[in-house]
Amino acid sequence: MEILSYNCPPNCQVVNLRWKLVKKASQSCESKPPSFREHRILCIRRDFRSGFSGYSISSWCFSKNLDREKGSNSSNAVQGFRNLNSQVLSGSYDGYVIGGEEDAGSFPKEREAIPKVLIPGLPDEYNGESGAPITSSFWEWKPKFNVHYEKAGCENVNSPPVLFLPGFGVGSFHYEKQLKDLGKDYRVWAIDFLGQGMSLPDEDPTPRSKEGDSTEEKNFLWGFGDKAQPWASELAYSVDLWQDQVCYFIKEVIREPVYVVGNSLGGFVAVYFAACNPHLVKGVTLLNATPFWGFSPNPIRSPKLARILPWSGTFPLPASVRKLIEFIWQKISDPESIAEVLKQVYADHATNVDTVFTRILETTQHPAAAASFASIMFAPQGNLSFREALSR
């Protein structure tokens, strides 16, 4: 049984694929064939140091200042990232992300209505039913380690708590529908793992001197300096870090044992965490959990092999890795690449993934995203394998 999403977000979104502009509006939730405008080049200019974000589309452009949150000690760069919202544009677009002219040609002029399958009890947003409101918050685990999370249903004080752990490359926003539905009856949380989503650092873990910055691109990338700040000297975005993050989040924020739900990477972390902290877990639900994570050997389980490899995801990035990461990041953070991945993940192209696409794209524009990705890829495996965790 599949649920076809017909809900429309309250604000219009900008979908940027192959650096061509697709305009869409959410004024109507009716199923209409997409309306395609003449393609125009979309140029994006961001200055994270000043907090300014500008968009220029041929002769038409708009811009906005990204206000800093009151009382926050975060830099303009991160506030610009956190407050980044899509602008309201005219036009009409409805349904799956469209890549370009070749995709547009595959749509008939009149699209047949797709029958909608509903699970009894779920809110039908197409007919105006709404779920529980979702609140976005930040929790400071350690100095400079700010964890973003979303919650719903906290007024249900006598109901069981449920914690959702996201997959790789996404965040708490991936569980929007679950939070809206389950938040009506339960207390529900979803977190962003450190190094992903909106749990990226507020400042450069390896700041460089101004004399060493020769290009604007180097100023833009955080984590590519030669010396790590004290708080980042042993930082590596590993599965062990994430299971510690989950442990302290439950102890300090939820403050009681929970039901843990994990998708993909989140499923691995859920099993790993439950095996290490059974007293904090009431139950575990795995959603397509990955049975493996980490390419570098664990220094405790394989000390000899770990000593052979020169780097294990800590900061700063070695000079030999930086060029490779810059090249890879340029490819995988491209909107076209993101759209292609979503097309593979969501086989039913009637599913509306616009919000997921937009949020992933926003994350890639954070100045720390590239170095965080490198740390994740080179961080060591956990102290327990997936099979060992399951056996516990």
When pLDDT is cut at 50, 70 and 90, the band that residue 76 belongs to is: low
At residue 284 the predicted structure's pLDDT band, cuts being 50, 70 and 90, is very high
Mean pLDDT of the region 28-57: 35
Q: What is the pLDDT of residues 209-237, one digit of tens each?
A: 665 555 554 457 899 999 999 999 999 99
Q: Do residues 365 and 371 touch, judged by C-beta distance below 8 A?
A: no
How are beta strands 258-263 and 281-287 bridged, if at all? Answer: parallel
Instruction: Calculate what percentage of the chain has a pLDDT beyond 90.
Output: 53
In a 3-state reduction of DSSP, which class is residue 248?
Answer: helix
Across 86-100, 104-118, 252-266, least confident range: 86-100
The pTM (predicted TM-score) of the whole model is 0.71
Exposure string of 149-172, with b = 16+ CB inside 10 Å and e = fewer, is bbbbbeebeebbbbbbbbbebbbb
Residues forming beta bridges with residue 14, ordered by sequence position: 23
- Sketch out the chain's domains with CATH numbers: 134-208+219-390 (3.40.50.1820)
pLDDT digits (tens, 9 = 90+) for 121-158: 666 666 667 789 999 999 999 999 999 999 999 899 99
Gap between the Cα atoms of 189 and 206, Å rounded: 32
State the chain's mean pLDDT as an integer: 75
pLDDT on residue 370: 95
Look up residue 269 and give its two tokens.
């972390």
pLDDT for 266 beyond 70: yes
d(CA 54, CA 47): 9
For residue range 178-187, list pLDDT tens digits in order: 999 999 999 9
Secondary element (H or E) of residue 389: helix 386-391
Among 265, 289, 298, 240, residue whose Cα is nearest residue 248: 240
Per-residue model confidence (pLDDT) at position 380: 93
